[in-house]
Homo-oligomer: A and B are copies of this chain.
Amino acid sequence: MPQSSTAALPSRDDATAEMITAAGDFYRFGWLHGTSGNLSTRLSDEEVLITASGKSKGALTPDDFLIVDPQGKPASKKGPRPSAETGVHMAMYKALPEVGAVYHVHHLHAALCGKRDFKQGYTFINDVEMIKGLGLWEPEASARIPIVENHHDLDELARAIAAHLNSEDFDATVPGINLRNHGVYAWGKTPAEARRHIETFGYLFEYSWLSPMHDAESQAVRGFAR
């Protein structure tokens, strides 16, 4: 794992507290039904703190987190198993050295947009103030939130995401990816930034899904009411 360019990485205690709060809020928004989703924070160049596999996210405790190395291997043989999608997190930390936290939720409208827009490869967002929440503060900013094919095998998924992040098409200004029929991953330099990005994606996907309802032109395009 390349050295993180982030000056101050959080302590394990701070990262744990931040992720417990964020996961609880996301759970209550309905974005982490079942035991879905996973959150991680980089503690050092050799350590990532990540949620354990198979836990309900509404009331996590410090015991529901564990440390893995850059290959995703647990630091301790005891303790809980890491999230099944640990490899995806590690692919992001490896490809994006400035990233300090990776959050993944199962926001319903992310999955819906991912299904709707998969053929074109992205969900297009423009002309909406909340795009600033992705860190896109330029005038007339737009975003193509990429939709990556979902893979059943999670190692294969991690490789596909690594390939995407290292491809020429990859647009580093958009801080996340949407997996087809699956859900959104967002990253940030800090846990607070990853949280801002996840919540912003949630808003943007819901906005993108609902806005054509009263839009005759879009309805024709979508086949919504024709």
- Interface mask (A13-55 → B, CB under 8 Å = 1, otherwise 0): 0000000010001011110011110000000000000000000
Query: Which of A61-69, A109-117, A166-174 lies at the interface with chain B?
Result: A109-117
Contacts of A127 on B, CB cut-off 8 Å? 181
A25 to B130, alpha carbons, bound, how many Å? Answer: 20
Max chain B C-beta neighbours (<10 A), residue from A127, A196, A214: A214
Is the beta-carbon distance between A182 and B222 smaller than 8 angstroms? no
CA distance A204 to B25 in the complex (A): 21
Is A224 part of the contact surface with B, judged by Cβ < 8 Å? yes
Does B179 contact A129, Cβ atoms closer than 8 Å? yes
Instruction: Judge whether B213 and A111 touch: CB under 8 Å.
Output: no
Residue of A129, A138, A203, A226 with most partner-chain B CB within 10 A: A129
Q: Is the CB of A25 within 8 A of B211?
A: no
- B residues near A182, Cβ cutoff 8 Å: 128-129
Q: How far is A58 from B22 in the complex, measured between Cα atoms in Å?
A: 10
Smallest CB separation, A149 vs chain B (Å): 11
CB within 8 Å for A222 and B211 given contacts A21-B59, A28-B28, A36-B130: no
Q: Which of A91-144 contact B (CB under 8 A)?
A: 106, 108, 111-112, 115-116, 127-130, 133, 138-140
Chain A interface, DSSP helix/strand/loop, else mixed: helix
A145 to chain B, nearest CB (A): 15
Complex partner residue of A216 from B106, B206, B223, CB under 8 angstroms? B223
Q: Are B25 and A200 in contact (CB under 8 A)?
A: no
A34 closest partner in B (C-beta): B133
The minimal Cβ–Cβ distance linking A150 to chain B, given in whole angstroms, is 6
Cα of A192 to Cα of B56 in the assembled complex, Å: 8
> Given A210-B112, A211-B112, A133–B56 Cβ distance below 8 Å?
no
Inside 8 A of A28's CB, which chain B residues have their CB?
A: 28
Q: Which residues of B have CB within 8 Å of A223? A: 214-217, 219, 225
B209 touches A34 (CB 8 A): no
Rounded to whole angstroms, the CA-CA distance of A21 and B128 in the bound complex is 27
B200 touches A33 (CB 8 A): yes
Given contacts A33-B199, A216-B223, contact A207 B130 (CB under 8 A): no
